[in-house]
Structure 1
Amino acid sequence: MLDIKYINSAFSPAQEILNPQSFVGRKEQIKNGMLCLNNPGSFMSIYGLRGVGKPSIAHQIELIAQGDLTLPRILSLKNFIPRGGFNFLTHYTKVDSFTTNVQDIIKRILFGDNNSSSLFSLTNLGERQLDSIKKVFGSEGGGKFLGIQLGAKSSEEKTTSPIYQMT
């Protein structure tokens, strides 16, 4: 039985299609996205009129980049999947009316906002920068083998601070 709420939300410009099973059409755009993923050093930009499905396409390509092959199978695009599959680390940034120029977009990518995570969140330190590394060495002595036992221990102490301060 069909749920009318599900049908009504299927074509809403305010709601991205996150589930590959619910995504319909745009085979050529998905294929182009997969070709871009297959091309080392490429850069992908999705643009167009309001309400045509840009975020939905972006989410589907992001899923494919992370290794979810549901949509390529549905759209018969298995030929564009590399032998080892896709296994990208992805970062999704949404641009809105607060991003009015290239600097705003770069700032959004780097630092994020309430809806988008920071690019720094993908690093081992998260949104912190490494200030210093202090090496600590120690030694032990004693007598076991030929009257000499030597040993050494070392450790690292790392100090971090936030990458940026919100003002």
Structure 2
Amino acid sequence: MANGVWHRGYNIEVNLSLPDLGHPDRPGLLDEIMTSVAERDPELLECLAHHDGNTCESEAGGKSPWMFVRRGRVGGRRPLVAAHLPVTHKPSAAETDQHKATKERVVATALRHGLEASAEQPVRGTGGRGVADALVTGPDGTRIGWEIQYYPLSPSAVHRRSVKVPATTG
């Protein structure tokens, strides 16, 4: 963890140890750096060592040079701390051959076992409308929508996707 980060938008060092972050002229800076990475450019905050052209132990350990800021816990205090984002792979809009092959295998396996199955089926679940990569229907009418994924996904993202179980086709 670090007590400072480089803000690439303003080209400034943000000192997390100071109440004004070292920039009294930027009153909204704290809110900006505390914004969830999902809601801002993930490359907004950079490791100071990386920015200065030095080797960072976290990067050497497989982390990205990009940072996020959170409240830590030290005794009864809650200081700001920065940590490296994990290295992730961005999904592409186009399906890979591996994705297509897995989707076809799910459908073919279900059909071979006497179940109904189709690919790219529109579904409506408790979370709204979506398109399942493959939709398999059991003999009792129970439907399971398959979403084929080949990139790192956080447990919370898996949960969010899992609660969108298809209820009806449409």
- Same fold flag (TM > 0.5): no
More helix by share: 1
More strand by share: 2
Higher relative contact order (CA 8 A, sep 6+): 2
Tell me the TM-score normalised to structure 2 length. 0.28
Larger of the two Rg values belongs to structure: 1
